[in-house]
Amino acid sequence: MLCERCKKNNATVFYRESINGKERSLSLCEECAEKARKNGELETEFPVDGFFTKPLMGVDKLFGSLFGFPQLVGQTTSDGKKCPLCGATFRDLMAEGKAGCPECYKTFSDELSSTISRIHGATTHTGGAPSRFKAGRDLKQKIRSLEKGIKTAVEEENYEEAARLRDELRAIRAEKGDEEK
Amino acid sequence: MKWYESCGKDRDVIVSSRVRLARNIVDYPFGDRLDDASKKEIIAKVKDALADGKEYVFRDFASLSETERIAAEEEHAVSPEFARGSGPRALIESADGTAFIMILEEDHIRIQTITPGFSLDEAFDKAREIDGKLDSKLNIAYDEKLGYLTHCPTNLGTGMRASVMMFLPGIAHSGDLRSLQNQLGKIGLTIRGMAGEGSSADGCLFQISNQVTLGVSEEETVAKLVQITERLIEQERTLRRKMYEADREALTDRIMRSYGVMLYATLVDTQELFRLYSDVRLGVSLGVIDCVTAERLDRILVKCMPAVLIRDNDGVRDARSRDRARAETIRRLLSGAPEGKK
Ligand SMILES: [Zn+2]
Ligand SMILES: [Zn+2]
């Protein structure tokens, strides 16, 4: 896709905002985007919804534009890549401000990671999980604590304990490997 | 019991407590990418998952009239998006009126619980119980790193929004709302006004909720909101007293005038209702009025919303007949025997 302004370079910066229901979108190259920023065209603040909006309204609008804000989108366009489940491209995700399906998060995990950490100030979930993931989560935690235990034991030159923990870890890993096959 | 039918803790400041969980089923796309056949499949799956007990009522939401849909929104049973959206969608309601499962709102599934007064733990436990039931029957979309996978990335992680609806005439009067908004924003909470049509702040109702859902556990989210809410309750009570002490006579006059209008008016529009509600509710908490309870006023507010009025009363069509029915409803509910215990 070519830049809307110069029509020469590839567009790498996508800007989208919605003001009072009117949508405005721009696809620019980095050069033209920089100019636009300097001219104050892209200088709009995050359109934080008014204080007295109706409940639940406005959240999507706010983050829809957050999602497409030029600085957050970065330079990758990932033009060819499509989500295997829903067929969405990364550009679709940006235009909609939302994922196309649960699988999109895997497909576009690299492209989305900075946006996600910008929104939440974190990158890793620490809360609850569906039951089918709980066993895996517990196992992971167990492995992590065993690894830590081995390290401590070695540091304390408690080799007997380290060997015991290593055997336990090996057993768990062997079991896990079987499960996955 | 429905949130406006029983009292609950700290009702002078807290109207209701809510928890919402966003859930999706693996292998189905989101939103517009779903065709009608898939939508119907999802509805059937969720319905089946909760079919074991008699404690749920299933409603084909798309087949309801617009009045019924908007009325459900006004009762806080469903979101505005869900009430006003289009295409196949369904609502499953718990028989006790505290839980609403929206199927095909923004996400495939939105579990929402709403309980009276300051009762976030209760709302959370109820939501988690339903979540567990759905989880045992459905493949819920989840990623070890990102948590529950949701249509909008703002809900990733827990997919949880916990909120309290607060009545804050003291804080509103003090003019500190802006700074409160900023303070809450810094700790990952948001505050929104909950006024009626015409969007004036007359109702003094505000919803405070968590913003961030990734990197914090459900328990931490609830605990933080509880902690902040407790502080706000104290602050609000202090400011109400201060406002009262500043000019008892003038405030009492305003409250009693509003109460008088509630008792005797023939026509009341929505905007006036919010003002009357706010004055009289404040009067109740200050002890100026003792013949009505806060929860009764909350019930009046809900029962006098435009679509609810049209749904519940015969012959209500235009604005005039609505204002008349509203005034009648206020009078009727004010004169009834007190509900719940203080
Ligand atoms: Zn250009
Ligand atoms: Zn996808």
Q: Quick one: pLDDT at residue B111?
A: 97
DSSP states along B159-196? -EEEEEEEE-HHHHHHT-HHHHHHHHHHTTEEEEE---
- What are the helix (H) ranges across chain B? 36-49, 66-74, 80-84, 120-137, 169-174, 177-186, 218-246, 248-264, 270-286, 294-303, 306-312, 319-335
Q: Do B80 and A54 touch (CB under 8 A)?
A: yes
pLDDT reading at A2 higher than 90: no
Q: Quick one: pLDDT at residue A16?
A: 57
A58: which chain B residues are within 8 Å (Cβ-Cβ)? 192
Q: Quick one: pLDDT at residue B238?
A: 96
Phi then psi for residue B110, to 5 deg, are -125, 115
A55: which chain B residues are within 8 Å (Cβ-Cβ)? 76, 79-80, 192, 194, 207
pLDDT reading at A175 higher than 80: no
Q: Quick one: pLDDT at residue A103?
A: 96
CA of A12 to the centre of ligand 1 (A): 9
Residues A82, A87: Cα–Cα separation, whole Å: 5
Residues B278, B191: Cα–Cα separation, whole Å: 18
Q: Quick one: pLDDT at residue A55?
A: 28
Do residues A125 and B147 lie in contact, with contact meaning Cβ atoms separated by under 8 Å? yes
Q: Per-residue pLDDT averaged across A111-124, rounded? A: 89
Phi then psi for residue B12, to 5 deg, are -60, -30
Q: Which of A7-21, A150-164, B295-309, B320-334 has the lowest mean pLDDT?
A: A7-21
Q: Quick one: pLDDT at residue A15?
A: 63
ipTM of the predicted assembly exceeds 0.90: no
Low-confidence ranges of chain B (pLDDT < 50): 196-200, 337-342
User: How does the average pLDDT of chain A come out, rounded?
Assistant: 72
Residues 72 to 131 of A: which have CB under 8 A from any B CB?
A: 85-88, 97-102, 105-106, 112, 115-116, 119-131
Residue B94, SS3 per DSSP:
strand
**pLDDT-based confidence at A70, cuts 50/70/90?**
very low
Q: Quick one: pLDDT at residue A25?
A: 64
Q: Do A100 and B29 touch (CB under 8 A)?
A: yes
**pLDDT-based confidence at A31, cuts 50/70/90?**
confident
A102: which chain B residues are within 8 Å (Cβ-Cβ)? 24, 26, 28, 30, 141, 143, 149
Closest listed residue to residue B263, CA positions, set B282, B247, B276, B250:
B276
Q: Do A129 and B142 touch (CB under 8 A)?
A: yes
Q: Per-residue pLDDT averaged across A102-111, rounded? A: 94
Do residues B101 and B112 lie in contact, with contact meaning Cβ atoms separated by under 8 Å? yes
- Collect all residues with Cβ–Cβ distance below 8 Å to B234 and sequence separation of at least 6: none
Higher pLDDT, A134 or B146: B146
Q: Quick one: pLDDT at residue A173?
A: 83
| Total-model pTM | 0.78
pLDDT reading at A63 higher than 50: no
Query: Which among B24, B25, B30 is the top mutation candidate for probing chain A, defined by the most A β-carbons within 10 Å of its own β-carbon?
Result: B30
Q: Quick one: pLDDT at residue B284?
A: 97
Whether chain B has a CB inside 8 Å of the CB on A67: the answer is: yes
Domains of chain B and CATH, by start: 3-238 (3.30.590.10), 247-335 (no CATH)
CA of B156 to the centre of ligand 1 (A): 34
pLDDT reading at A80 higher than 80: no
Which residue in the set A122, A130, A133 is minimally distant from B215, CB to CB? Answer: A122
CA of A100 to the centre of ligand 2 (A): 4
Share of chain A above pLDDT 70, in %: 65
Phi then psi for residue A34, to 5 deg, are -65, -45
B185: which chain A residues are within 8 Å (Cβ-Cβ)? none
CA of A30 to the centre of ligand 1 (A): 7
Which residue in the set B136, B143, B160 is minimally distant from A131, CB to CB? Answer: B136
Do residues B78 and B72 lie in contact, with contact meaning Cβ atoms separated by under 8 Å? yes
A125: which chain B residues are within 8 Å (Cβ-Cβ)? 143-148, 156-158, 214-215
Residue A132: both structure tokens together: 């089918």
